[in-house]
Amino acid sequence: MPENLIPSQTQVEQDTLCTHCGYNVRGLYVAGRCPECGTDVALSLRGDLLQYADAHWLDQLRFGVKLSLWNIVLVFVSGVISSYAAATGLSVIVTLLGLAGGGMGLWATFLITMQEPRIGLTEDPVTLRKFVRGCALFTFVGGLLFYSPDVQRLGSVFYFFSRVVNLAGYASSICVMIYLRRFALRIPDEALALSTKRLMWSGILVVVLLFIFSLFTAVVLGTIAPGTTPGTIANSSIWMGFGCITMIAMLVLFLWYVRLLMKYKDAFEVAGSVARGEVSE
Listed ranges 10-18, 46-54, 134-142, 261-269: which one lies at the site for Zn ion (CB under 5 A): 10-18
45/177 with CB nearer Zn ion: 45
43/193 with CB nearer Zn ion: 43
C-alpha 65, offset from chain centre: 9
DSSP 24: B
List, in order, residues 6 or more apart from 25 with CB less than 8 Å away: 12, 16, 17, 18, 34, 41, 44
Of 12, 17, 28, 34, the one binding Zn ion (CB under 5 A) is 34
Does 57 sit near Zn ion (CB under 5 A)?
A: no
Does 119 sit near Zn ion (CB under 5 A)?
A: no
- Closest Cα to residue 114, out of 159, 199, 53? 53
Query: Looking only at residues 35 through 54 of this chain, which bind Zn ion when binding is defined by CB under 5 A?
Result: 36-37, 39
Listed ranges 29-37, 113-121, 144-152, 270-278: which one lies at the site for Zn ion (CB under 5 A): 29-37
Per the CB < 8 A criterion, the answer to whether 194 and 181 are in contact is no
Of 21, 67, 108, 112, the one binding Zn ion (CB under 5 A) is 21
28/132 with CB nearer Zn ion: 28
Does 250 sit near Zn ion (CB under 5 A)?
A: no
Listed ranges 17-25, 54-62, 108-116, 263-271: which one lies at the site for Zn ion (CB under 5 A): 17-25
101/117 with CB nearer Zn ion: 117
Least distance in angstroms from the C-beta of 17 to Zn ion: 8
In 3-state terms, the chain is what percent helix, strand and coil (to 5)?
70, 0, 25
The neighbour count for residue 146, using CB atoms within 10 Å, is 13
Count of residues touching Zn ion (by CB under 5 A): 8
DSSP 186: T
**Which amino acid is present at 40?**
D
Per the CB < 8 A criterion, the answer to whether 3 and 25 are in contact is no
Listed ranges 16-24, 93-101, 134-142, 203-211: which one lies at the site for Zn ion (CB under 5 A): 16-24
Least distance in angstroms from the C-beta of 55 to Zn ion: 14
Q: How many helices (H) and strands (E) does the chain have?
A: 9, 0
17 pairs with which residues across the strands? 24
Per the CB < 8 A criterion, the answer to whether 143 and 167 are in contact is no
14/223 with CB nearer Zn ion: 14
Least distance in angstroms from the C-beta of 269 to Zn ion: 24
Of 18, 132, 200, 275, the one binding Zn ion (CB under 5 A) is 18
R_g (Cα) of the chain, nearest Å: 24
DSSP 272: H
Least distance in angstroms from the C-beta of 275 to Zn ion: 15
Residues contributing to the site for Zn ion (CB under 5 A): 18, 20-21, 23, 34, 36-37, 39
